């Protein structure tokens, strides 16, 4: 099944109403500086400012970032304020808008970009708000979407095409990350290696295939993920633990190495081996986040190789959203093997444990109303 239009229709718009100003809602919150997340049924509904929209969330995707917050790793401890509502991937219906909102209407089905830029710095004013130094991210710096309602600035709202089903509309955000990586590197007519195929790596495989990549080579330590990558159009897969894969990858690409490398593992060995494989003059787009500093042979890996190295952070607002939409509407992305689980919001703990166990790729929660 590859066509977005073959999937179930979106929920009807009549089911969602504006809550009373003093209403409470279900939310999933980080309430303790320890592993876990808390089911919080008495959370106040967020207030909206004049430029905000209040969205009744119907579906929310669980991201690797949410898993970091759940596990309370070093990054989360340094970044996440206690008391925050988590989650940043969602779709829902607008139920109320502020007095200065002009283009967003109650009843509209929408998703939203989770990066709220300052709007006035140089990156924000030149279309690079995703790397604004003062960016506030939904579910990280401000209350997120693992809740019945979320407040979002109107300029972050993304109206969703009717042909895109809810469980796919909820994951525009990670699809945008994958899209940004693939499109920045430029894969059309070129050989590609993707190191690390978790959720975003697998999304990159189907996007690269749809974008006209040549030979696609994939590495990962998990055989099941390699099998899914093949299903999505990868030509050759290697276990990342097999240190001879860069040699094999060179043989498969006219003995010169892949022209493009999408790094999505964040693992020091993946990064080391990827540089070995990359062709002279090749381009690498780095998306995977290493948990600590990584050693590079700068002379051999980058300078003598004449490599182009791109750092990829988030999504371009809103270029990648338009790209994701048009790829989805073209029917050429295969996301069925990637969204492995759809669960009820109250089952969030099971969803996170399925991700930890490697049994789930993407989990989408249904939010009750
Ligand atoms: Zn995410
Ligand atoms: Zn800014």
Tell me the ligand closest to 118's alpha carbon. Answer: 2
Instruction: Say if residues 286 and 310 touch (Cβ distance below 8 Å).
Output: yes
Out of 43, 58, 59, 65, which one is annotated catalytic? 65
- The per-residue pLDDT for 8 is 45
- The two domains 4-171+335-366 and 178-311 share their CATH topology (first three levels equal): no
Spacing of C-alpha 75 from chain mean position:
18
Give the tens place of pLDDT for each residue, 244-287. Answer: 999 999 999 999 999 999 999 999 999 999 999 999 999 999 99
Residue 312 vs residue 3, higher pLDDT: 312
Say how many Å lie between the CA of residue 249 and the centre of ligand 1.
Answer: 30
Is residue 65 part of the annotated active site? The answer reads: yes
Say how many Å lie between the CA of residue 271 and the centre of ligand 1.
Answer: 22
Spacing of C-alpha 1 from chain mean position:
21
Instruction: Say if residues 267 and 295 touch (Cβ distance below 8 Å).
Output: no
- The per-residue pLDDT for 14 is 52
Q: Where are the domains of the chain?
A: 4-171+335-366, 178-311
Coil, helix or strand for 303? helix
Tell me the ligand closest to 144's alpha carbon. Answer: 1
Say how many Å lie between the CA of residue 317 and the centre of ligand 2.
Answer: 12
- The per-residue pLDDT for 21 is 79
Tell me the CB-side half-sphere exposure of residue 312, using CA atoms within 13 A. 28
| The Cα angle at residue 200 between residues 196 and 206, in degrees rounded to 5 | 95
Q: 178-311 — its CATH code? A: 3.40.50.720
Residues 6+ apart with CB under 8 A from 18: 54, 95, 96, 106
Question: What confidence category does residue 68 fall into, taking pLDDT thresholds of 50, 70 and 90?
Answer: very high
Q: Listing from the earlier edge strand, what are the strands of the sheet with 192-195?
A: 236-239, 216-220, 192-195, 260-263, 283-286, 308-311
Question: CB atoms < 10 A from the CB of 293, how many?
Answer: 7
The topology (CATH level 3) of 4-171+335-366 is: Quinone Oxidoreductase; Chain A, domain 1 (3.90.180)
Is residue 236 part of the annotated active site? The answer reads: no
CA 132 vs CA 52, 136, 217, 317: distances in Å? 20, 9, 33, 11
Work out whether strand 339-344 and strand 362-366 pair parallel, antiparallel, or are unpaired. parallel
Say how many Å lie between the CA of residue 145 and the centre of ligand 1.
Answer: 11
CA 254 vs CA 8, 65, 214, 249, 259: distances in Å? 44, 38, 12, 9, 11
Q: pTM for this one?
A: 0.94
Question: What confidence category does residue 7 fall into, taking pLDDT thresholds of 50, 70 and 90?
Answer: very low
Instruction: Say if residues 164 and 328 touch (Cβ distance below 8 Å).
Output: yes
CA 6 vs CA 9, 29, 60, 207, 352: distances in Å? 9, 35, 21, 18, 28
pLDDT at 9 over 70: no
Distance CA 21, CA 323 (A): 37
């Amino acid at each position: 099944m590859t066509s977005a239009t073959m999937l179930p229709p979106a929920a009807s718009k009549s089911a969602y109403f504006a809550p009373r100003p003093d209403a409470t809602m279900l939310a999933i919150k980080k309430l303790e500086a320890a592993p876990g997340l808390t089911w919080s049924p008495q959370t106040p509904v967020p207030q909206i400012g004049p430029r905000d929209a209040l969205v009744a969330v119907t579906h929310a995707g669980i991201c690797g970032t949410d898993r970091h917050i759940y596990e309370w790793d070093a990054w989360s401890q340094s970044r996440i304020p206690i008391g925050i509502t988590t989650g940043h991937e969602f779709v829902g219906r607008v139920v109320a808008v502020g007095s200065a909102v002009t283009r967003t209407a109650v009843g509209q089905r929408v998703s939203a970009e989770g990066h709220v830029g300052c709007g006035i710095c140089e990156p924000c004013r030149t279309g690079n708000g995703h790397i604004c130094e003062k960016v506030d991210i939904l579910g990280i710096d401000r209350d997120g979407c693992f809740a019945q309602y979320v407040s979002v600035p109107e300029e972050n709202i993304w109206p969703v095409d009717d042909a895109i089903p809810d469980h796919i509309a909820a994951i525009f955000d990670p699809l945008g990350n994958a899209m940004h990586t693939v499109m920045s590197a430029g894969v059309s007519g070129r050989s590609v290696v993707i190191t690390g195929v978790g959720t975003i790596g697998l999304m990159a495989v189907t996007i690269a295939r749809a974008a006209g990549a040549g030979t696609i080579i994939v590495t990962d330590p998990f055989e099941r993920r390699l099998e899914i990558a093949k299903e999505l159009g990868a030509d050759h897969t290697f276990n990342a633990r097999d240190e001879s894969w860069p040699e094999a990858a060179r043989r498969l690409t006219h003995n010169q190495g892949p022209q493009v490398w999408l790094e999505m593992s964040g693992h020091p060995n993946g990064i080391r081996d990827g540089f070995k494989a990359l062709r002279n003059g090749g381009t690498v787009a780095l998306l995977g986040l290493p948990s600590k500093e990584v050693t590079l042979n700068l002379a051999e890996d980058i300078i003598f190789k004449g490599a182009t190295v791109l750092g990829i952070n988030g999504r371009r607002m809103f270029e990648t959203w338009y790209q994701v939409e048009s790829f989805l509407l073209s029917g050429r992305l295969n996301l069925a093997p990637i969204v492995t689980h759809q669960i009820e919001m109250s089952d969030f703990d099971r969803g996170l444990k399925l991700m930890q166990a490697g049994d789930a790729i993407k989990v989408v929660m249904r939010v009750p109303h």
